[in-house]
Amino acid sequence: MEISYKELDEISKIIYRTSGLYLQKRDKDKLLKYIEKKLAEGRFRSLEHFKKELEHSKSVLYEVFDVLTINETFFFRHKSHFNILEKEILPKLFKEKQSVKLWSAACSTGEEPYSMAITALEVMEKLKIKKTVRVIANDISQKVLKVAQEGVYGSYAIRFVPPDILKKYFIKQPDGKYKISPKVKSMVRFMHLSLTDEAGMKRIGNDIDVVFCRNVLIYFDIESRKKALSLIHYNMNKGAYLFLGPAESARGLIKGLKIVLFPGAIVYCKE
């Protein structure tokens, strides 16, 4: 069965409307392969049937998100960000507050929020203090969230984890993989949520002190970037920090964020 570009565009629009994901040529190719495979398997009777299901059945939409999203991540990715969190931001926050809330927005398979939790535990140990630290983590893909909940990682994910941290916060499994310790895991709460879902984003709570929203806005068009950034901004406390990926910027997209220069990174702070 031939699927025309016009039809593919229509389907892309449905996905864009619900996720903010702006499909490039390579994504459309991926989508085309997925639809062709599902039609061949008899999962959908026709293209019309697929489109109807996509609009009305969450499970089909979620399956498409799983196919289209790029989930590359690893522990302590962009090390300079974790250095800033450890040396500059958390000590300051711990001085000011008893309870601190961090957010990994678009957390993929969990390495980012777990790295944030480990960093907080290390800072508390170093300063000999006890604070309540909660890490909220969300993603649009159910597939990655399942991996994140399991918290078991192979050599690629942990390749930049220092040996002492690996020993302290991971449990080596019989198959050589590493499972995140229950202590770290208990600090993180995962949520299945799109960054462009206005009602859903309110569930994060508007008391966030630090947000990592890295390497996801690059997949959005300008309008979705603006929308996601304004929903993130709404959830941030005054003075809270926002980290974006090195190829991303909030400049010109949203008001109410000022740039703070830290060693090795630009960070945004809510005015």
Ligand X SMILES: C[S@@+](CC[C@H](N)C(=O)[O-])C[C@H]1O[C@@H](n2cnc3c(N)ncnc32)[C@H](O)[C@@H]1O
Binder to ligand X among 19, 75, 114, 209 (CB under 6 A)?
A: 19
> Is residue 117 within the footprint of ligand X (CB under 6 A)?
no
Distance in Å, CB of 35 to ligand X, minimum: 19
Nearest to ligand X of 94, 141 (CB atom): 141
Hey, which residues between 195 and 214 contact ligand X (CB under 6 A)? 195-196, 214
Tokens of 195: 């960054």
> Is residue 81 within the footprint of ligand X (CB under 6 A)?
no
> Is residue 106 within the footprint of ligand X (CB under 6 A)?
yes
188 strand-pairing partners: 135
Binder to ligand X among 44, 94, 103, 108 (CB under 6 A)?
A: 108
Q: Which helix (H) or strand (E) holds 169?
A: helix 163-169
Stretch that binds ligand X, among 2-10, 116-124, 137-145, 177-185 (CB under 6 A): 137-145
> Is residue 70 within the footprint of ligand X (CB under 6 A)?
yes
Neighbours of 247 (CB within 10 A): 9
Distance in Å, CB of 96 to ligand X, minimum: 26
d(CA 178, CA 163): 12
Hey, which residues between 211 and 230 contact ligand X (CB under 6 A)? 214-216, 219
Residue 192 Cα distances to 63, 123, 198, 205, 212, angstroms: 13, 29, 14, 15, 16
The full DSSP string for 8-42 is: HHHHHHHHHHHH-B---HHHHHHHHHHHHHHHHHT
Distance in Å, CB of 27 to ligand X, minimum: 11
Is 45 in contact with 53 (CB distance < 8 Å)?
A: no
Distance in Å, CB of 180 to ligand X, minimum: 16
For residue 163, give the 3-state DSSP assignment.
Answer: helix
* Side-by-side strand order, sheet with 170-172: 152-153, 178-180, 170-172
Of 102, 95, 68, nearest in space to 210 by CA? 102
Nearest to ligand X of 12, 138 (CB atom): 138
Stretch that binds ligand X, among 1-9, 43-51, 133-141, 232-240 (CB under 6 A): 133-141
Angle between helices 5-19 and 25-41 (to 10 degrees): 100
> Is residue 20 within the footprint of ligand X (CB under 6 A)?
yes
Stretch that binds ligand X, among 33-41, 132-140, 149-157, 199-207 (CB under 6 A): 132-140
Question: Where do contacts with ligand X occur on this chain (CB under 6 A)?
Answer: 19-21, 69-73, 77, 106, 108, 112, 138-141, 144, 194-196, 214-216, 219, 245
